[in-house]
Amino acid sequence: MQNSKNRIETDDFRGPVLGRTRVGRVANKGRGLIAAERIVAGEVIEQNLCLVLDLEEGRAIAATRLRHYVYLWEEAAAGDMLALAMGNLSFCNHSSRPNAKIELDKDRALVGLRAAQNIEAGAEVTIDYDYPLEFTVHE
């Protein structure tokens, strides 16, 4: 339980955008990110807090299946820094015709999604992973 004098007021904290998506089953893909409401092109769909990994942590994760759930945070000569999104965004599937795009807010350590086109309620929200794929794409 928080002490009331340490409580963060909503007006003082502009936290992540939540509640516009849900995780659901998608044919031929397993789980995926589904629009819970109609989303207009250009609108923020979702923002998730993320855990930014240092180079050593990123290399360790790259050797596991968690590599499918991280985002490129920063490119560096010594190796890329990665971020692990802590929310629904981790279930966003790839499409060669994506309806959303990833945005990073490095000041607030957020990974976000913005609609690249109108997305109807119940439709899958997809992104272009922008790296060589290790799987067959089912559109």
Question: Domains in the chain and their CATH numbers?
Answer: 13-127 (2.170.270.10)
pTM, to two decimals:
0.74
Residue tagged 């015709």 (tokens): 97
Q: Exposed/middle/buried for 134, CB within 10 Å: 0-12, 13-18, 19+?
A: exposed
Whole-angstrom distance, CA of residue 121 vs CA of residue 22: 10
Whole-angstrom distance, CA of residue 117 vs CA of residue 107: 26
The pLDDT value given to residue 81 = 78
Q: How far apart are the first and last CA of the chain?
A: 46
The pLDDT value given to residue 42 = 96
The pLDDT value given to residue 18 = 65
| Positions of the chain with pLDDT under 50 | 1-14, 132-133, 135
